[in-house]
Amino acid sequence: MICDEVTRDLDAFVDRELAADAAAPIREHLSACASCRQRVADREALGRLVRSVPYYDAPERLRARVSGQARRTTSARRLMAWAAAAAVVVSIGGGISLVRSGTVRADTPVDEVVNGHVRSLMADHLFDVRSTDQHTVKPWFLGQLDFSPPVVDLASVGFPLAGGRLDYVAGRPVAALVYQRQKHTINVFVWPASGGTPAVQERAVRGFHVRHWIRNGMAYWAVSDLNDMELTEFVRALQTT
């Protein structure tokens, strides 16, 4: 697969709209093409920026004025439509400039991993390799990544390994390990990191619980809708294994 072919389907890939057999060649290409990975990162950053733009209600005086004119002519409706379109173009254009200039930091790791978690559930693409055997999941990442992620099964403490996949955070490929707790899914994103401490940072983002820590040169981000207490139990088990 070449860059032109990837670019053609990149929007659908980012939105997780491609079938698994169509997405697999793109993921393979991205693992070796830095420029296409950057295109993915740019699209994801722009999407987050657009979703983060606040919504403002029009003042009542403006609403009344527009409503009065709309009763007399349809031109006001056309004007509002063009104004809305222009506002979107200006907002997106300004957003692109801000992202490129670095004035606004639209992409943070916590946003990236939560978005990755949501995408995996919505697109029904949790797995590139589906297995409860850590000795099957870990070797699958060979050749997919430039590092070897630690993979353990925690079935003995109630958090069985379900599989793994290749994901992307800030434009770079990372390992996503998938665990289950009854009907709840836990995504654990892993990539190399220097420094840091094993102390776990806790956050809640858009209704999901997030845990982050660094251990043995690896950054871990665990994301789930699992309740706080059980996710803490999972993280402790993963840290001590």
% of the chain at pLDDT higher than 70: 73
Tell me which of 101, 131, 162 is where a domain ends.
101
Residue 125 sits at φ, ψ, to 5 deg, of -130, 70
Q: How confident is the model at residue 104 (pLDDT cuts 50, 70, 90)?
A: very low
- Interstrand relation of 161-169 and 172-181 (parallel, antiparallel or unpaired): antiparallel
176 plus 208 within the same structural domain = yes
- Per residue in 179-194, pLDDT (tens digit) is 999 999 999 999 999 8
123 plus 196 within the same structural domain = yes
165 plus 234 within the same structural domain = yes
Classify residue 54 by its DSSP letter: P
Contact present, 187 and 117 (Cβ < 8 Å):
yes
Q: Which residue has the higher pLDDT, 141 or 65?
A: 141
- Closest to 180 measured CA to CA, from 204, 214, 155: 155
Q: How confident is the model at residue 212 (pLDDT cuts 50, 70, 90)?
A: very high
Total number of domains constituting the chain: 3
Provide long-range contacts, Cβ within 8 A and 24+ apart, for 86-93. Answer: 91/50, 91/53, 92/46, 92/50
90 plus 147 within the same structural domain = no
Amino acid letter for position 192 = P
User: Quick check: 157 pLDDT over 50?
Assistant: yes
DSSP 131-172: -S-HHHHHHHTBTTBSS------BGGGTB-EEEEEEEEETTE
47 plus 75 within the same structural domain = no
37 plus 97 within the same structural domain = no
120 plus 218 within the same structural domain = yes
210 plus 169 within the same structural domain = yes
126 plus 158 within the same structural domain = yes
Residue 153 sits at φ, ψ, to 5 deg, of -100, 130
48 plus 68 within the same structural domain = no
What predicted TM-score, i.e. pTM, was given to this entire model? 0.59
- Per residue in 23-71, pLDDT (tens digit) is 888 888 887 787 788 777 777 767 666 665 555 566 666 666 666 665 6
pLDDT number for residue 11:
80
Task: Domain of residue 35: give its range.
Answer: 3-52
170 plus 88 within the same structural domain = no
CATH number at residue 190: 3.30.200.100
For 137, residues 6+ apart whose C-beta sits below 8 A from its C-beta are 129, 131, 151, 161, 163, 164, 177
For 108, residues 6+ apart whose C-beta sits below 8 A from its C-beta are none
Contact present, 176 and 123 (Cβ < 8 Å):
no
94 plus 125 within the same structural domain = no
